[in-house]
Amino acid sequence: MKKHLFVILVATVCLWARAAPLVVGIADMCSTTNAVNVQSTYVAAVAAAGNTPLVLPAETDRELVARMLAPLDALLLCGGEDVEPRRYGAKPSPRLGKVNLRRDAWEFLLLDEAVKRRLPVFGICRGCQVINVYFGGTLWQDLPSERPGEIAHRSKELHPVRIVQGSRLAKSLRAEKLMVNTSHHQAVKDLAPGFRAVAFAPDGVVEAIESDTLSVAGVQFHPERLLVQDGRAEFRELFAKPVGRSPLDRRK
């Protein structure tokens, strides 16, 4: 009888753990110097996936950042301004957009701590670019002038992407071809060591990257808008299990 009760107890605990929502930290976008700010679509996407969004205020104190990341199951880096080119050893292009040095420093500090903790990280648009630069890659500073192609990457039009078979992204989305939105003029140029490009636009521009060894990935498009604003339920999984990992991976 005791054995049966023990089995039931273990099964109940396992079911509870599997159903427990993840705590996903969303990094302050540093839009102002006197307020903490993230766009509501990121918060809504995490919540729509059944997880708990937690907005993280930009800080420079490493000990405080470590305490903020301690309760997290995953970290989300959002879209926004261009990354400062000196971060990847390049001179600013005349067509470089607005940069935010405070935000660059904040997100690099977050990645320092996330890597140390082996915390899953998911980057969207700028977030994908920040991940690539942090790990040693470079960016096209302005696609239209540096890498012109058939796709207008900063527009209101959707375009197809090809997703690499067997990638974590393909497994999460259960698809190898999708129509996605496009709202960027920068993109991955030289891929960071230890990363793979796992999605491409028709003109060859990289649309997603994944680490070979870490639970770190990024997409160039905006799945939070596709999920929340367009009702595209297939993108829910990216926020339910960030970077295609099991919700239990963080707890193992």
Catalytic residues: 125, 222, 224
93-128 burial by CB neighbour count: b if 16+ within 10 A, else e?
eeebeebbeebbebbebbbebbeeeebbbbbbbbbb
Among the listed residues 152, 111, 116, 148, the one whose alpha carbon sits nearest the alpha carbon of residue 131: 111
Per DSSP, the three-state class of 51 is: coil
Task: Specify which residues 164 forms β-bridges with.
Answer: none
Q: Which two tokens stand for residue 95?
A: 């067509």
Q: Which helix (H) or strand (E) holds 59?
A: none
- Of 25, 26, 44, whose CA–CA distance to 236 is shortest? 44
